[in-house]
Structure 1
Amino acid sequence: MTSGNLLTDDPRLYEARFPDPERLAGRWAEDCLRRHGAGSRVLDLGCGTGRDAAHLHAAGRRVVGADLSEAMLAHARVHHPGPRYVRGDLRGFALGEGVFDAVVCLDSALLNCHGNDDLDGCLASCRRALAPGGVLVAEMRNGAYFLGREALLARPVVNRFAWQGTSYRSTTTLYVDRAAQLLRRTRVWSADDGRRPVEQHSAWRLLLPQELRYFLTVHGFSVLALHDGPGPRTEPPWREGDLPGTAADADRLHVVARLDA
């Protein structure tokens, strides 16, 4: 068995496993930006394959997509052109001061900030990059959802999908590392094409709603919305015209914050 990340090492496979033909995440982000009057200059932080960045570009935004994965950036430049794509670590980046009107951080990218120093570094970088009054839009797993839900962690979960004639199988096990405040994941991928199985290890910060509010406030942001849904990955998913909720009980968390002038 080898180690690695089967999906992020092959962005085409990633998009096949997580299709978004309706560009729901990008549309939700654009709706948040419009709703809160954000300007046209947008940083998509943790842009991945570039699908959401390209949607925001098509909506008339001037978009920079930043990601740590060179494979993802190379894919984005070819398959989702329009934005400018650059390599950047969300835990601390320098892309200019006051050069963006909004920062968008989707699909739990913010939770790669495992420690408080990481999260401080990310928010401090966002603060520097944003013009006064700029908007931060983020969407992620809700750390509060996993409190007391041991049944979610008690058994491996198996998923299967097929792409280009090959069948893939993943076995995923989650557990909570309480000391580090992380949700850790072990995932083993296998395929029917004879390749060796791949074992992947990853983790997300278990960030609680009021904890997130505190970090944003410390870094000079005013929280405009903080809720569990609707959003691009909720059930039911967000649709045009939906207004943000007020609860924070479900498995996703959405936040919109404005940098104080």
Structure 2
Amino acid sequence: MSEHATARNLLTDNPALYEARFPDPDRLAARWTEEVLRTHGAGPHVLDLGCGTGRDAAHLHATGRTVVGADLSDAMLAHARTHHPGPRYVRADLRRFRLTDLAAQPFDAIVCLDSALLYCHTNDELDGFLDSCRRALTPGGLLVAEMRNGAFFLGRTELLDAPQIRGFAWEGTVYRSVTTLTVDRAAQLLRRRRVWSTEDGSPPVEQHSAWRLLFPQELRYALAAHGFTVLDLHDGPGPRTEPPWRAGSAVLPGGSADGDRLHLVARLGDG
């Protein structure tokens, strides 16, 4: 392969391209989140951490909630303000943030979808995230998260055995990605190398990212250390499971953690 161009992240640097690669016309993640919030009696003031393009935050806003969307990507935030208005969008780092930078009063719930929590790569970053959430929530407030499941990789290699090749068309250009996942056991990270190519003669673009591999009991321990009570922690169904969660189905506590996604509901305090 020819020498690669580099980019911080082709998709997150180009939000319209991101939405084309991951279409969500039914807003499944946001509808699942709203069902969880209703089931557990969350109040209306919600923070969407790692809000990305703003699709989920805007859907939650449309249900009648007061929503703040926070992200570290200026490109994503600009896209959200233009294409998914309604919430207030603010730049913030989920690994350590201050309530005063986001809102005038604490939130009733914080949601963190699509593995955004797993960008806390170290214990200090995870502690920073949970401490910031504790300070930003009302007593009894909810933390709702959806992410990759670290326990899935205990003896399971199907996501690691071969590169994943994907392609899609956007605005007349066909984009092709080759993604390789590897487990860094010392750092407890799932590392991703992705190479993008197109047919227009542009040089390939290589990008690298990683997610923390958190295990269910490890996550329970960290949450308890920051004053949270776990109400639910299970592998599915959820918005990115197969089969996915469907509207109208109950959001009930689950007891298994075998799948590749993990779904968390925790309450600040004794539950």
Normalised by the length of structure 1, the TM-score is 0.98
Q: Which residue of 2 is the match for residue 34 of structure 1?
A: 38
Q: 1:229 aligns with which of 228, 232, 236?
A: 236
- In structure 1, runs of 5+ residues without a counterpart are none
1:157 aligns with 2:179: no
Q: Which residue of 2 is the match for residue 3 of structure 1?
A: 6
Cα deviation for residue 107 of structure 1 reads 0.1
Q: Which residue of 2 is the match for residue 14 of structure 1?
A: 18
Q: Which residue of 1 is the match for residue 255 of structure 2?
A: 246
Q: What is the rounded CA distance, in whole Å, between the counterparts of 1:195 and 1:55 in structure 2?
A: 36
Aligned pairs for 1:89-168 (under 5 A) are: 89-96=93-100, 99-168=106-175
1:219 aligns with 2:252: no
Q: CA RMSD in A?
A: 1.1
Q: Secondary structure at the match of 1:185?
A: strand
Deviations 1:31-87, CA, capped at 9 Å, x for gaps = 010000000000000000000000000001000000000000000000000000000
* Stretches of 4+ aligned residues off by more than 4 angstroms: none
Using the aligned pairs only, state the percent identity. 74
Deviations 1:97-148, CA, capped at 9 Å, x for gaps = 8610000000000000000000000000000000100000000000000111
Q: Which residue of 1 is the match for residue 215 of structure 2?
A: 208
Amino acid of the residue matched to residue 79 of structure 1? H
Q: What is the rounded CA distance, in whole Å, between the counterparts of 1:242 and 1:167 in structure 2?
A: 39
Cα deviation for residue 157 of structure 1 reads 1.4
How many residues align? The count is 261
Q: What is the rounded CA distance, in whole Å, between the counterparts of 1:243 and 1:64 in structure 2?
A: 24
Does the 8 Å contact 2:39/2:251 carry over to 1?
no
C-alpha spacing 1:179/1:15, structure 2 compared with 1 (3 Å): same
Q: 1:70 aligns with which of 44, 69, 74?
A: 74
Q: What is the rounded CA distance, in whole Å, between the counterparts of 1:142 and 1:154 in structure 2?
A: 18
Q: 1:173 aligns with which of 153, 177, 180?
A: 180
Does the 8 Å contact 1:98/1:132 carry over to 2?
no
Does the 8 Å contact 2:35/2:251 carry over to 1?
no
Q: Secondary structure at the match of 1:26?
A: helix
Q: Which residue of 1 is the match for residue 57 of structure 2?
A: 53
Amino acid of the residue matched to residue 23 of structure 2? P
Cα deviation for residue 239 of structure 1 reads 1.1
Does the 8 Å contact 2:241/2:261 carry over to 1?
yes
Amino acid of the residue matched to residue 269 of structure 2? D
Does the 8 Å contact 2:176/2:197 carry over to 1?
yes
C-alpha spacing 1:151/1:28, structure 2 compared with 1 (3 Å): closer
- In structure 2, runs of 5+ residues without a counterpart are none
Question: More displaced, 219-228 or 192-201?
Answer: 192-201
Does the 8 Å contact 1:104/1:138 carry over to 2?
yes
Does the 8 Å contact 2:228/2:267 carry over to 1?
yes
Does the 8 Å contact 2:234/2:256 carry over to 1?
yes
Amino acid of the residue matched to residue 148 of structure 2? R
Normalised by the length of structure 2, the TM-score is 0.94
Q: What is the rounded CA distance, in whole Å, between the counterparts of 2:157 and 2:257 in structure 1?
A: 19
